[in-house]
Amino acid sequence: MKNKKKITLPYVLIYIFLILMVVLYLLPLVWVFTVSFKTNAEIFTNPFGLPEGIFFENYHIAWTAGKLGIATANSFFVCVVTLVLSMIIGSMVSFAIGRMRWKLSGLTMVYFMTGMMIPVHCVLIPLFTRFAKVGLSNNLWGLILPYLTFALPTTIYIMTGFFKGMPNELIESATIDGCSIYQIFYKIALPLCKTGLFVTGLMTFVANWNELLLAMVFISDDTKKTLPVSLSKFVGPYNTNYSQMFAAIIIAIIPTIVVYCAFSNQIVDGLTAGAVKG
């Protein structure tokens, strides 16, 4: 007979806690989704009940009046360019720190890790004045540069652990076979550490997709504003259109949910592997 796992009180308490956490995280999302189909009057009269009718006009108005199409395209451009650059530069720097032997590798790691301790508020005014002088104050590249700067420390920190966990025998065998350092990096190191790229890539994408402060300060042209800045248009000084605002929020979070669901397995594997390496 197969051994059946005995259900004990600690297991029951753990599952109850996990169920409560799932409900705690999903309930606000479900509430925002149901409210997005209501009218403003229905939100105030029956905020927690089901909508009396499905009001799709909220999504149409939010998409057109809020110019979410242009904002979504701008956010995709900024996030994708930052993601690609951070993965390329971060992986090369991480490989140099984790696998190559040179005197300043430790100091270089400390230099990049210092960036994790600097909040964006401290560099906001210097960046704004500097970008205004070079013509980047109302340019999407003025967002990509600071996004890339703040994404590199986390990318390098995580990827260095993956590269350090690679077997030395693989590097030695490739060297004996005549592979150059560039061939070892592109053909051996990167494929073995692709789970780390998925983890850092998702973190970079989500962080930049939801970033508001830099985008609000550096961008003033409506045709260049990103999605978080466009969402702030639904909140006025005297009134707020809650139904359209919640519809716009649902539109804004759909890409991050799709990306996470598509790469959830790789992300979990990457976090698990990164926890025991380095």
What is the reported pLDDT for 4?
52
What is the reported pLDDT for 75?
92
Is residue 44 situated within a structural domain? no
Question: Mean pLDDT for the chain?
Answer: 83
Is residue 13 situated within a structural domain? no
Is residue 53 situated within a structural domain? no
Q: Which domain holds residue 135?
A: 66-276
Is residue 180 situated within a structural domain? yes
Backbone angles phi, psi at 235, to 5 degrees: -105, 110
The predicted-structure confidence for 49-93, as pLDDT tens digits, reads as follows 777 777 778 888 888 877 888 998 999 999 999 999 999 999 999
The predicted-structure confidence for 6-44, as pLDDT tens digits, reads as follows 667 778 888 899 899 988 888 888 888 888 888 878 888
What is the reported pLDDT for 278?
43
Backbone angles phi, psi at 67, to 5 degrees: 50, 45
> What are the contacts of 220-225 at 24+ separation with CB within 8 A?
220/138, 221/138, 222/67, 222/70, 223/70, 224/74, 224/138, 224/139, 224/140, 225/67, 225/70, 225/71, 225/74
pLDDT at residue 228 is higher than 80: yes
**pTM recorded for the entire structure:** 0.80
Q: Which tokens sit at 198?
A: 């998925």
pLDDT bin (cut points 50, 70, 90) of residue 144 is very high
Taking each helix axis from N to C end, the angle separating 68-99 and 194-209, rounded to the nearest 10 degrees, works out to 140
What sign does the CA torsion over 48, 52, 54, 59 have? Answer: negative
pLDDT at residue 1 is higher than 50: no
Is residue 14 situated within a structural domain? no
pLDDT at residue 196 is higher than 90: no
- DSSP one-letter string for 18-79: HHHHHHHHHHHHHHHHHHTTS-HHHHHHSSSSPPSS--THHHHHHHHHTTHHHHHHHHHHHH
Under 8 Å CB-to-CB from 224, ≥6 apart: which residues?
Answer: 74, 138, 139, 140
Please state the domain count of the chain: 1
pLDDT at residue 273 is higher than 60: no
Average pLDDT of the residues in 163-175: 83
What is the reported pLDDT for 78?
94
Contact by Cβ (8 Å): 274, 196:
yes
Contact by Cβ (8 Å): 257, 206:
no
Is residue 99 situated within a structural domain? yes
Q: What is the CATH number of the domain that holds 244?
A: 1.10.3720.10
What is the reported pLDDT for 275?
45
- C-alpha to C-alpha distance for 159 and 97, rounded to whole angstroms: 10
What is the reported pLDDT for 270?
56
pLDDT at residue 205 is higher than 60: yes
What is the reported pLDDT for 69?
86
pLDDT at residue 178 is higher than 70: yes
Is residue 107 situated within a structural domain? yes
Closest listed residue to residue 163, CA positions, set 91, 270, 107, 268: 91
How far, CA to CA in Å, does 42 sit from each of 51, 65, 151?
8, 21, 42
